[in-house]
């Protein structure tokens, strides 16, 4: 059961209160803010949970919905009209089998008087899974592209659960930092991304096979999945230590030589392998780590370039849309050759400013990006 003093899932509203409720949903967590902590950004009129906006502003200072800049002066705490509307919403009790229905203002009293004790420590829903989690091993969630390492209750340095950004919120009730003492943690070692145990159990992806070993970059690769390198034109499939048939690492032909010291065949026992299925080409894991083609940008995040006044949002590949790269106005042409609408844009990554109808392809973005040191590396 959710705490009555936290944000509310719209599913627990009575039908009569769902009319026009979209205007009162937090733009970040997509829940209805608690009346006591709801705030409004006066410039754009959007509503947020106080904690959600506080966490958001640590990384971004524009509204996630309309991209308008947010300033401290424009944040209005406890707007009377918003507060009055929220406390009078008709909500259903979230306790199982309870048929109570009433205004949100009375919900806390109902929980306190009817359900003698809120079950803050719900029976561990992961009991059937827990024995399958091994400390410092990697597991896959459907909410994140990379494997998450099970840290148990180690490394508790005031982390926050990213489950709060998924519809329904964090299942452990974590809304900010410093609330995780004694809570088991699953961490992406490549990104600033964490899930508590309850959220991980809900989003656990059983369809991925992750091979854990003690190699240099262990757990970052998924068995039988393809990865791009900077030294070969085709994707390389990760075979881990399978297909051990006396292969040699082609890294030996590059200036750095093979970073595992492989100079010939039959020297690769227990070394993870990346293989091109079209060519007779292999890389050991250390060489793949060195030559792996990295993606610097995260989907739906904003990045600044020095040729445009506003941040550009990375929207990935959209093959069903025709667009023109504005990089053609600089350096004489677009670095991907997209100089008019007749040029094909299928498979090309795109960055867009909605305010100005301004687009850049990834090659132009790489060239004009302000701060490569601050970008995200996968």
CA max distance for the chain: 75
Place of tokens 């390198």: 229
31 with 105, same domain: the answer is yes
| pLDDT (0 to 100) of residue 370 | 60
Per the structure, the count of domains in the chain is 4
In a domain, 3, yes or no: no
Give the domain range for residue 310: 302-374
In this prediction the pTM is 0.32
Q: Is residue 136 part of a domain?
A: yes
CA dihedral of residues 300, 306, 307, 312 (deg, nearest 10): 10
Residues 16 and 75 both lie in one domain: yes
92 and 18 within one domain? yes
pLDDT at 295: 56
Average pLDDT, consecutive stretches of 10 residues, N- to C-terminus, the chain (378 residues)? 64 78 79 82 79 78 78 67 80 76 79 58 37 73 83 80 85 85 84 88 73 46 76 85 84 87 85 89 86 69 85 84 86 80 82 92 79 33
Task: Give the separation between CA 177 and CA 160, rounded to whole angstroms.
Answer: 5
pLDDT of residue 78: 61
Burial of 321 (0-12, 13-18, 19+ CB in 10 A): exposed
């Amino acid at each position: 059961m959710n705490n009555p003093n936290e944000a509310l899932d719209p599913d627990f509203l009575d039908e009569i209160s769902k009319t026009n409720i979209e205007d009162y949903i937090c733009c970040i967590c997509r829940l209805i803010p608690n009346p006591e902590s709801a705030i409004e950004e006066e410039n754009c009129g959007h509503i947020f949970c106080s904690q959600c906006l506080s966490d958001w502003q640590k990384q971004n200072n524009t509204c996630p919905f309309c991209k308008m800049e947010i300033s401290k002066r424009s944040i209005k705490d406890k707007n009377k009209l918003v507060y009055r509307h929220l406390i009078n919403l008709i909500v259903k009790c979230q306790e199982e089998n309870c048929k109570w229905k009433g205004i949100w203002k009375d919900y806390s009293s109902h929980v306190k008087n009817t359900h003698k004790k809120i079950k803050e420590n719900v029976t561990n829903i992961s009991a059937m899974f827990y024995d399958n989690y091994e400390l410092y091993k990697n597991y896959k969630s459907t909410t994140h592209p990379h494997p998450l390492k099970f840290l148990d209750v180690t490394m508790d340095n005031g982390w926050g659960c990213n489950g709060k950004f998924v519809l329904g919120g964090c299942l452990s009730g974590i809304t900010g930092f410093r609330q995780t003492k004694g809570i088991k943690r699953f961490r992406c070692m490549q990104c600033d991304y964490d899930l508590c145990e309850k959220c991980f159990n809900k989003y656990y992806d059983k369809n991925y096979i992750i091979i854990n070993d003690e190699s240099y970059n262990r757990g970052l690769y998924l068995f039988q999945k393809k990865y791009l390198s900077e030294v070969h034109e085709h994707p390389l499939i990760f075979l881990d230590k399978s297909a051990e048939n006396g292969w040699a690492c082609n890294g030996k032909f590059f200036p750095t030589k093979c970073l595992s010291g492989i100079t010939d065949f039959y020297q690769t026992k227990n070394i993870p392998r990346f293989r091109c299925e079209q060519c007779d080409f292999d890389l050991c894991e250390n060489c793949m780590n060195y030559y792996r083609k990295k993606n610097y940008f995260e989907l739906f995040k904003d990045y600044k370039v020095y040729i445009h006044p506003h941040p550009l949002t990375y929207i990935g590949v959209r093959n069903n849309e025709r667009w023109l790269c504005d990089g053609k106005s600089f350096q004489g042409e677009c670095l991907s050759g997209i100089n008019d609408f007749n040029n094909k844009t299928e498979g090309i990554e795109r960055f867009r400013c909605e305010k100005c109808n301004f687009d850049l392809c990834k090659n132009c973005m790489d060239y004009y990006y302000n701060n490569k040191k601050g970008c995200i590396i996968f």
